Amino acid sequence: MSLTVTGSINVDHVIRLPQFPRPGETLTGSDYRIVPGGKGANQAVAAVRAGAKTRMVACVGDDAMAGALLDGFAKDGINISAIDTINDVNTGVALIQVNESGENTIALAPGANAALTPEQLQRHISALHCEQLLLQLEIPLPTNLAAARQAKEQGARIILNPAPAQSLPDELLALVDMITPNETEAERLTGIAVADNAGADAAANALHARGIATVIITLGARGVWLSEHGHGRLIPGFTVQAIDTTAAGDTFNGALVAALQQQQALVPAIRFAQAAAAISVTRIGAQTSIPYKADIEAMLEQS
């Protein structure tokens, strides 16, 4: 079963701070790093490291970092033939602040990600002939819609991680088979606060009503709310000491589709993805924190 990830590639500039600065305040940080990131790239890396055959459709700029990023993806085993270089544009950039609790704030400059238009996507239509298509929201929304349509026509399962949070048209949601919002994203899509299991269940049912069969709402340390065709349940997570939550959601999504590609049933696939995300929050950075399949399996054996 093949997986295509259509999405963003960023260069992450990460700095650790004692707390987030208030407007007008200057704080001295530590452990400044430049690391590969972007939701699409993070999820593709997470998927391939978890054992999935993975191809990526994306854009980078013609800056000095782009070549190193592509080399890194290829080294991980991602098929990069559908990643285009856009002239006179920078690769996407994310400025990430991480506080002492491991929480983060992120400011994005899309750069070449904005060049992944539906017209650009048409250059790589063969990449959408896949069994699973994984999407996020750091590329133009019309491109996600075009990719979902093309892949759906070929019989693909469409998985949408609706991040960063934004409202979405019914036209896109009707094409989605599985959606994986966090609490904030679920509330943005449904108007229902996900403060407890009842809220998660109500939000999931609202998403079912918009045509999505499988809803997986990630709840951080509380676990995951899984709802299939209106039947919901909580799947508890792993307890770890988080030092950096950057890319935890991306790691979950990539590992989830990898487990499904390897024919795991949905609940074991979610547990596999939860273990991957739990490992990632104990490490610094985005792609630098993403574990390999052997690490994930070892954690599951110990639990």
**pLDDT tens track, the chain, 303 positions:** 699 999 999 998 989 999 999 999 999 998 898 989 999 999 999 999 999 999 999 999 999 999 999 999 999 999 999 999 999 999 999 898 989 888 888 898 999 999 999 999 999 999 999 999 999 999 999 999 999 999 999 999 999 999 999 999 999 999 999 999 999 999 999 999 999 999 999 999 999 999 999 999 999 889 999 999 889 999 999 988 888 877 899 999 999 999 999 999 999 999 999 999 999 999 887 788 999 999 999 999 987
Q: Is 81 annotated as a binding residue?
A: no
**Residue 34 β-bridge partners:** 13
Sign of the torsion formed by the C-alpha atoms of 60, 3, 138 and 120: positive
Sign of the torsion formed by the C-alpha atoms of 201, 143, 79 and 67: negative
Per-residue confidence (pLDDT) for residue 1, from 0 to 100: 61
Please answer whether residues 138 and 108 qualify as being in contact, where contact means their C-beta atoms are separated by less than 8 angstroms: yes
As annotated, the active-site residues are 250
Dist. CA 109–CA 126, nearest whole Å: 29
Q: Is 182 annotated as a binding residue?
A: yes
Q: Is 138 annotated as a binding residue?
A: yes
Q: What angle do CA 62, 67, 70 make, to 5 degrees?
A: 115
C-alpha distances in Å from residue 184, one per residue of 35, 142, 181, 191, 195: 26, 23, 8, 10, 10
Q: Is 11 annotated as a binding residue?
A: yes
Q: Which of 116, 117, 68, 112 is nearest to 88 (CA)?
A: 112
- Answering whether pTM is above 0.75, one says yes
C-alpha of 138 from chain center: 10
Cα distance from N-terminal residue to C-terminal residue, the chain: 28
Q: Is 246 annotated as a binding residue?
A: yes
In the chain the domains, ranked by start, together with CATH numbers, are 3-9+38-91+114-302 (3.40.1190.20)
Please answer whether residues 33 and 14 qualify as being in contact, where contact means their C-beta atoms are separated by less than 8 angstroms: yes
